[in-house]
């Protein structure tokens, strides 16, 4: 009798373990199938994206557990990218270029469209600025406008939008390891100028830098210098917001009635070619040479969790948006226009 019960208990235990094992295997299969990679593999209009994931080895990463946000470009977006850059297909894009480009579409935490603000905000992608360990990663600017989400300023029309396939509403596609957003354009890695253009808080700075006549004069030389920055020779830019320019150019502001040459000097006084200097690399009382001619310096003043930049007139500009990382430098948003010796 006891032997019979023991045999029955052993059989029940074996069946239970077998069932548990099957359920675990099935769960793992489902997790993979409904992961970000799994979703892309089943969508014909994402076949180039899926092919690119496989070519770069990222398909395995985005099949694993995690909480990613992925902006998945449609096939038409890849075709436009190929045509614009002299490629024929996914296989013709060099793997390092393709991988960094794809990583520029991935964020390591989940961002739903509901959390994107009408005033905009930044997120860090997984695309590193260089091959060194722990290298900073490229920033992404996202802003919601009505039923559209625009990324890094988009294009000259409506920008990069995230919508349903019928263009009715923006949506979030939930995968087992994160959120997928469908985008209609490749999100290319932004430069300093791209990020200035993208953020509405820098609209006045954009207006001044791109001026060719009028009150600000011709500032094309300054714009050319910014466009000429490279990953090998990056710059750090202290970018005043719109309110800062209003204060400097109205009332008793120091830049009221500034000549075009003085405007150029003011703009140059916000750029240093000392390298890609992030906020945590600044030290208290560090002297920062700017690209004015002759060179004029500013000074970093560090407080408890704050960074200020002291100018020639001994004014302090507070860094209120640090470490906007670009391909050819880094931007720190500030709340005051720095005053050089004019």
In a domain, 15, yes or no: no
Digit-coded pLDDT (tens) for 273-314: 999 999 999 999 999 999 999 999 999 999 999 999 999 999
Same domain, 122 and 265: no
pLDDT, tens digit (0-9, with 9 covering 90-100), for 250-263? 999 999 999 999 99
Confirm whether 330 is domain-assigned: yes
Decide if pLDDT at 17 tops 50: no
State yes or no: pLDDT of 325 exceeds 80: yes
d(CA 124, CA 27): 31
Q: Please give the structure tokens belonging to residue 44.
A: 């014909």
- For residue 1 the two structure tokens come to 């009798």
Q: What pLDDT does 78 receive?
A: 96
Residue 206 sits in a domain whose CATH number is 2.30.180.10
Dihedral, 326, 103, 74, 71 alpha carbons, nearest 10: -80
Question: pLDDT tens across 187-213, in order?
Answer: 999 999 999 999 999 999 999 999 999
Note whether 199 and 179 are same-domain residues.
no
Q: Which domain holds residue 152?
A: 29-183
Question: Same structural domain for residues 201 and 317?
Answer: yes
150, 165, 183: which is the final residue of a domain?
183
- Rounded to an integer, what distance in angstroms lies between the CA atom of residue 280 and that of residue 106? 24
Asked if residue 133 and residue 270 are part of one domain, the reply reads no
163 and 38 together in one domain: yes
> Rounded to two decimals, what is the model's pTM?
0.87
Give the residue-averaged pLDDT of 131-138.
90
For residues 164 and 258, state if they share a domain: no
Of 168 and 153, more confident: 153
Shared-domain flag, residues 294 and 200 = yes
- Do residue 198 and residue 177 come from a single domain? no
208-251 pLDDT, tens digit each:
999 999 889 999 999 999 999 999 999 999 999 999 999 999 99
**212 and 174 within one domain:** no
- What's the confidence (pLDDT) of residue 279? 96
Residues 261 and 179 in one domain: no
pLDDT at 8: 52
CA separation for the pair 42, 21 (Å, rounded): 27
Contact, 336 vs 240, CB < 8 A?
yes
């Amino acid at each position: 009798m006891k032997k019979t019960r023991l045999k029955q208990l052993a059989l029940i235990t074996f069946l239970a373990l077998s069932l548990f094992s099957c359920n675990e295997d099935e769960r793992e299969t489902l997790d993979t199938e409904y992961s970000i990679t799994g979703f892309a593999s089943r969508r014909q209009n994402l076949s180039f994206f899926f092919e690119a994931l496989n070519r770069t080895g990222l398909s395995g990463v985005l099949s694993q557990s995690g909480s990613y946000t992925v902006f998945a470009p449609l096939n038409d977006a890849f075709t436009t990218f190929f045509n614009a850059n002299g490629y024929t297909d996914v296989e013709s894009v060099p793997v390092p270029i393709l991988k960094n480009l794809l990583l520029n579409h991935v964020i390591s935490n989940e961002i739903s469209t509901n959390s994107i603000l009408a005033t905009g905000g930044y997120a860090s992608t997984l695309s590193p600025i260089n091959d060194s360990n722990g290298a900073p990663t490229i920033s992404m600017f996202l802003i919601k406008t009505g039923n559209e989400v625009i990324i890094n300023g988009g294009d000259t029309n409506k920008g990069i939008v995230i919508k349903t396939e019928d263009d009715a509403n923006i949506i979030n596609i939930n995968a087992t390891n994160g959120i997928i957003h469908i985008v209609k354009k490749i999100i290319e890695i932004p430069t300093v100028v791209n990020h200035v253009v993208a953020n509405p808080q820098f609209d006045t700075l954009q207006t001044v830098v791109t001026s060719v006549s009028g009150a600000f004069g011709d500032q094309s030389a300054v714009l050319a210098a910014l466009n000429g920055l490279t990953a090998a020779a990056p710059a750090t830019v202290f970018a005043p917001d719109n309110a800062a320019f209003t204060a400097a150019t109205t009332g008793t502001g120091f830049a009221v009635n500034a000549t075009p040459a003085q405007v150029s000097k003011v703009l140059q006084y916000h750029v240093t070619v000392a390298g890609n200097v992030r906020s945590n690399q600044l030290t208290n009382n560090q002297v920062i040479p700017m690209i004015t001619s002759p060179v004029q310096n500013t000074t970093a003043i560090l407080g408890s969790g704050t960074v200020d930049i002291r100018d020639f007139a001994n004014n302090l500009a507070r860094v209120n948006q640090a470490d906007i990382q670009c391909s050819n430098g880094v931007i720190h948003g500030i709340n005051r226009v720095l005053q050089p010796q004019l």
